[in-house]
Amino acid sequence: MPPDDNNRNASTPIRRDLRTQSAEDLAFAGARTFREFHDRLRALARENLTCKRCGRTFTPKRSDAKYCSEACKQAAYRTRKG
């Protein structure tokens, strides 16, 4: 579990109680800092999406992504603008 303190420095090590490890603790056992833990947690939250233009399945880098690539994004823009 991440520390409750919201003011953690990105380089602050995560402290764990090894006697009570949850599935989340085991999933992030390799995370050395709170920032790394947070990045991994957000990566798990993203799911595979289908590109709105070509239909290809992709893993988005951003949570609001709609297209699999810049090329699909640009082609969709050109189609909308006529």
Write out pLDDT tens, residues 6-21. Answer: 555 556 565 555 555 5
pTM for the predicted model, two decimal places: 0.48
The secondary element (H helix, E strand) that includes residue 57 is strand 57-58
Give domain limits for the chain. 1-45, 49-81
> pLDDT (tens digit, 9 = 90+) per residue, 24-76?
665 567 777 888 888 777 777 677 889 999 999 998 888 789 999 999 999 99
Contacts with 12 (C-beta within 8 Å, 6 or more apart), sequence order: 3, 33, 34
